Structures are given as structure tokens and as C-alpha cells.
Amino acid sequence: MEQQLLNALVLASIYVLFSLGMTLAWGVLGILNLAHGAILVGSAYSVYLIGDDRQMPLGVVLALGLLVGGGCSLLLEIGVFRIIRNSTGDEEEKELRVAIASLGASSILVAIVAKGTANAPFAVPTSFTTHVYDVFGLRISDLQILIIVAGMGISLGLSRWLKLSRTGRAIRAVAADPETASLMGINERRLAAGTMFAAGAMAGLAGVFLVVYLGGADPQSGASLLTTAFAIIVAGGVGSIGGTVLGALTLALVETLILTYTSGSWAPAAAFVLIILVIVIRPQGLFSSSRTKVDRA
């Protein structure tokens, strides 16, 4: 049982890394990036290509994933999302077109990976080998520790940074009211680009962690991760970092329990049921008292 809880915690940390970027982009800029899952898979695949059988240290592999993920996301922001944002004033229309365009970008990325791998699972080449420690009968690897520290550390750091730093305050201002924020001298364009880069970078990091942790990844795995992240985000309340962490923990726990105690492949349904329950019954999210676009941390 303890072992299952540990597995759930590691899974939750990867979910957190992946969902944070999505919730940030949606909460701050109103961008629901449906290519987020494809960016995760794409950056892991790029690291596989760059690596080319050279066994690179884990740090290098993670940094590469981070850069490629951030780059992809930034490219989408500059080449697509920004154009759509500038072309219409209608918020709903904007969100809808951004979501549809990102869906197109997602098919392109997934198709490239599927073509390159002939739809077979791929691994990230790294010289890293895991060591398993025995802590009071609990078997925990150094990779698992690293993932948990990264996931929880980054979310804590991000929430502190958003709350305390000058740029963090600017981001929250843009989330609350972009127009007034720009009147106060905040450069929304640069902030949007920075936010999207950070979002993609976290997805890339999550992608490399996931592939190294599981030993391989399927080119099509982005779509299911996307719905998982969406469930986490709406459960936590859009834009809320604390909510994202709680949502990820809940979902990872439920999925692990379903996997352990049932024979069928019902685990993916947990996320879908969560989405429907939350949106239909409690649209402001399970863990937030009011509908917030920005994290109050």
C-alpha cells in the first residue's frame, strides 16, 4: 500500500509539472493550448533525436527537453496565438480559435513523431542509472525522489514568485485585466511570450522525466495526458497553482487505486468522469472558494 502511495506521488509530480504550464497559460492569457500534450511528446522525441545513441547525463537530457518544449510553445505563441489575439476583440471567439489552432498544431507534432518512430515507443538515451534505496521497507529510487522534488519544488517556487516578485505581480495584473495592465506600462506581448515559454519548458521537462521514468513513451500518449491535465486544472480551478497540485494528487491516487484493484482498463475514465463532475456540479473547481483567474497562493 505504501508503495502504491509512493507511485501515486511520483505520478502526481509529473502531472503537476505538465499541468502547471497549461493552467498558467489559460489563467493568465486565456490560451487553452491543446498542443501541450504534443509538446511534451515532441520534446522528449527531440531529445531522443539529438541524443542519437550518445548516453548523455540526466542533467543535459532534462535541459534539452526544457529548451525544446519552451521553444515549441514560444513558436506557437508568436506564429499563431498572437495573431489570433490581435485579430479579434471577442474573448470567446479568441479562446475558441486559439484552441482549434492549437489542435491543428498538435496533429502536426504528433504526426512528425509518429512518422519518425513508425508509431513505436521510443526512449531517451541517458547514462543515468537509478539506485534504489530501502527506507523502512519502502523501495524508493533516486529518480523518484528527483521527480517529486522537481514537481513540488517548481510549483512552490512558482507560486512564491508569482506572489512576491515584480514580474509575478505583472503577470497577475495581466490575468486580472490585460487592458488596464497595459496602461500601467506592462509589456503584455513580452509577458505572454515569457509565460508561453515557461509553460512549454515545464511540459518538456515533464516529458523527459516521464520517458526516463517509464523507460519509453508512445507517440500518441499526448492526447490522454491532455485530458488528464484538463481534469486536474478544472478540478483545481483555472490558474490556481495550489489547486493544480491538489488536483494532480487526487487524480494520481484514484488512477493508481483503479489500476491496483480492477482488472479492466478503466483508469483513463477517472479523468473524464472528474471533468464532467466538476464542470457540471462545481465549475469553479473543487479546491477554490471563488472563480479565480490568478492564483492567490
Partner 1 sequence: MIDWYASNTTLIQNCMIAILLALSVQVVMRIGVLSLAGIGFYGLSEYLTANLVIRDVVPAEVAILASLVVCGIGAFVLSLFLGRVRGLYLAMVTLAFVLILNVVAINGGKWTGGANGLFGVPFAVTTAHIVVVCLIGILVVWATERGAIGRACEALRTDELLATSMGIEVRKYHRANLVLSGLLGGAAGGLNVLNLGAVGPFDAGFGLAVTTLTMVIVGGRRSWLGAVIGAVLITWLPTVLSFLEGEMRNIASGALVIVMATLVPDGLLGLLTSQIRRLRAAVRRPSGRSTTKEVDDDTQLVSADR
Q: Which positions touch partner 1 (CB under 8 A)?
A: 32, 80, 83-84, 87-88, 92-93, 95-101, 103-108, 110-112, 114-115, 223, 227, 230-231, 234, 264-266, 268-269, 271-273, 275-276, 279-280, 283
Q: Considering the complex, what minimum distance in angstroms separates the CB of residue 93 from partner 1?
A: 8
User: Which is nearer to partner 1, 31 or 56 (by Cβ)?
Assistant: 31
Bridge partners, residue 135, by sequence = 138
Q: In sequence order, what DSSP letters do the residues of 98-132 get, joined into one string?
A: HHHHHHHHHHHHHHHHHHHHTT--B---B-----E
User: Which is nearer to partner 1, 32 or 201 (by Cβ)?
Assistant: 32
Count Cβ neighbours within 10 Å for each residue of 39-60 and write b for 16 or more, e otherwise: bbbbbbbbbbebbeeeebebeb
Three-state SS letters, 135-150: ECCEEEEHHHHHHHHH
Distance CA 94, CA 30 (A): 8
Q: Considering the complex, what minimum distance in angstroms separates the CB of residue 255 from partner 1?
A: 12
Q: Considering the complex, what minimum distance in angstroms separates the CB of residue 139 from partner 1?
A: 31
Q: Considering the complex, what minimum distance in angstroms separates the CB of residue 114 from partner 1?
A: 5
Count Cβ neighbours within 10 Å for each residue of 194-208 and write b for 16 or more, e otherwise: bbbbbbbbbbbbbbb
Distance CA 239, CA 259 (A): 29
Q: Are 284 and 167 in contact (CB under 8 A)?
A: no
Q: Considering the complex, what minimum distance in angstroms separates the CB of residue 264 from partner 1?
A: 4
User: Which is nearer to partner 1, 234 or 246 (by Cβ)?
Assistant: 234
User: Which is nearer to partner 1, 106 or 159 (by Cβ)?
Assistant: 106
User: Which is nearer to partner 1, 184 or 273 (by Cβ)?
Assistant: 273
